[in-house]
Chain A
Amino acid sequence: MKKEKRKSNYLRAIGAIAWKDLAAELRSRELLSGMLVFSLLVILIFNFALELDAKTRTSVTAGVLWVTFVFAGTLGLNRSMAIEKDRGCLDGLLLAPVDRSAIYFGKVISNLAFMIIVEIIILPTYSFLYNINLFQPGLLLVILLGSIGYTAVGTLLSAMSVQTRTRDVMLPILLFPIIVPVLIAAVKASNGYLQGLPTDQILPWINLLIVYDVIFIAISFMVFDYIVEE
């Protein structure tokens, strides 16, 4: 009975932290609007840099989409942790009588939500602009799995980078070499779906994404305590 109660308390703490982020964002819309405009600009730049004509489009769409998500994601991760740090909210959260990992999971959920919202808007825009059908269940699954892995590591490393002197520069430098496997697997799998490859050729990449997600959520869960400790 008691154990069950503790478990529900833990889940409630995670929910409360995620909800607080979403509610704050709903009122200010600082972070989401920044991420969105930025992603649209990245796509615009790619359009001119790569000459996205019908022929090149089929082979580079997956790459363009993922680079856009990754860059926009960095912006969001940085901002969402910086808000906590600047106004001393993080210290408040640390004082709360909940397990520290609840803070981590709460932040992952809200960061993931921001990323998915941006993706929900970017995907139809891209489809509309370039006349490619991106709404395939397999592709959406890949994007979800990739975003989970990205935010799992990103939240951990952004909690680290905001506590350094060169914080805004630090996050991408720390994060990008670590998420290379996510990026490779996500781009390969997305490309597979866009080019209509048989599922058995795409499956290894999806498995890799799942393995990465599980490993890094577990690792972050274990080490998050050391990062927020004062």
Chain B
Amino acid sequence: MNSKPTALKALDIISIILLAVATYLALVYAPTEKVMGDVQRVFYFHVATAWVGLLGFVAAGVSGVAYLKTQDLKWDLVEQAAVEISLIFFFLAIVLGSIWARPIWNTWWTWDPRLTSASIVELIYLAYFMLRQGIDDPDKRARFGAVYTLVGAISVPITFLSIRMFRTIHPVVIGSKSAAADGGFNMTGDMKLAFFFALFAFTIIFIDLFWNRIRLGQLQQRIEQLKLKVME
């Protein structure tokens, strides 16, 4: 429990290497896109960070349900870790997306379904942390946190859907294309490699961060217990 597990140490190193390779692939290896130019290179990390944000979002919802079912505080740690990671990565995705959108859409921001949903998720996460801060009893904090993540996890897809009922201009690169989308393109083989490698690298980074954060939570719990023991 005290020293860091070897597997985790190895995963840390692998994550760093993968990140370096993904950066190389995105910035150097992938060909420059014909219409958009170099700014398109943002796309590789933009989608990858949003993907990690989504993974964290789903993990938070699932662990919320798991907590309510088992009442085991372990799930509360998992949920908190997932929310924190998702918060940071959605933020990164929004920032990267804005950097791309400025020259391509000629604006930093539009109220498109994805952008709006991502920002609402961020607001829900902030509300989640404020809620937790306002409660002292750990069991109650965990219960309320789990209920709120569950409610959020159900409301956000409905939000996404409801905004999608308006027209969207966000390009869909993978899968079907919307006629109104602006800034879409077809990936060449090299681009696909850089793209899927970035997705893979960030998935591993997600697992690494998740593991580290859960371990940190466990250590925090341990410290609290020790403090209580000392005070007795």
B123 close to A (CB within 8 Å):
yes
Please give the distance in Å from A155's CB to the nearest CB on chain B.
Answer: 12
User: In the bound complex, what is the Cα–Cα distance between A103 and B131 (angstroms)?
Assistant: 23
CB pair B162 A160 closer than 8 Å? no
CB pair A181 B159 closer than 8 Å? yes
CB pair B158 A211 closer than 8 Å? yes
Of the candidates A157, A177, A185, A229, the one having the most CB atoms from chain B within 10 angstroms of its own CB is: A177
CB pair A180 B155 closer than 8 Å? yes
Taking residues whose C-beta sits less than 8 angstroms from the other chain, chain B's interface range is: 20 to 34
CB pair A164 B162 closer than 8 Å? no
Known contacts A160-B147, A219-B154; is A174 also within 8 Å of B131 by CB?
yes
Known contacts A178-B155, A226-B68; is A204 also within 8 Å of B135 by CB?
no
Q: What 0/1 readout, one digit per residue, does chain B (66-110) give for beta carbons within 8 Å of chain A?
A: 001000000000000000000000000000000000000000000
**Chain B residue nearest in CB terms to A220:** B151
Residues of the A chain whose Cβ atoms lie less than 8 Å from the Cβ of B134: 164-167, 170
CB pair A156 B127 closer than 8 Å? no
CB pair A180 B159 closer than 8 Å? yes
**Chain A residue nearest in CB terms to B147:** A223
Known contacts A160-B131, A174-B127; is A219 also within 8 Å of B162 by CB?
no
Chain A-chain B contacts (Cβ-Cβ < 8 Å), number: 88
Residues of the A chain whose Cβ atoms lie less than 8 Å from the Cβ of B151: 153, 156-157, 178, 216, 219, 223
Residues of the A chain whose Cβ atoms lie less than 8 Å from the Cβ of B130: 166, 170, 173
B193 close to A (CB within 8 Å):
no
Q: What 0/1 readout, one digit per residue, does chain A (137-164) give for beta carbons within 8 Å of chain B?
A: 0000000000000000100110011011
The tally of residues in A whose CB lies under 8 Å from a CB in B reads: 34
CB pair A177 B131 closer than 8 Å? no
B120 close to A (CB within 8 Å):
yes
User: In the bound complex, what is the Cα–Cα distance between A216 and B150 (angstroms)?
Assistant: 11
Residues of the B chain whose Cβ atoms lie less than 8 Å from the Cβ of A215: 154, 158
B143 close to A (CB within 8 Å):
yes
A67 close to B (CB within 8 Å):
no
- From the candidates B123, B136, B143, B162, name the one contacting A227 in the complex (CB within 8 A): B143
| Residues of B that sit less than 8 Å from A by CB | 68, 120, 123-124, 126-127, 130-131, 133-136, 140, 143-144, 146-148, 150-152, 154-155, 158-159, 161-163, 165
List 30 A–B pairs whose Cβ atoms lie within 8 Å, in order of A's numbering: A156-B151, A157-B151, A160-B131, A163-B135, A163-B144, A165-B135, A170-B131, A170-B134, A173-B126, A173-B127, A174-B148, A177-B124, A177-B152, A178-B124, A178-B152, A180-B120, A180-B155, A180-B159, A181-B155, A181-B162, A205-B165, A208-B162, A212-B158, A216-B151, A219-B151, A219-B154, A226-B143, A226-B146, A226-B147, A227-B144
In the complex, the 10 A-B pairs of residues with the closest C-beta atoms, listed nearest first: A164-B134, A165-B134, A181-B158, A177-B123, A181-B162, A177-B124, A178-B155, A173-B127, A184-B162, A226-B143
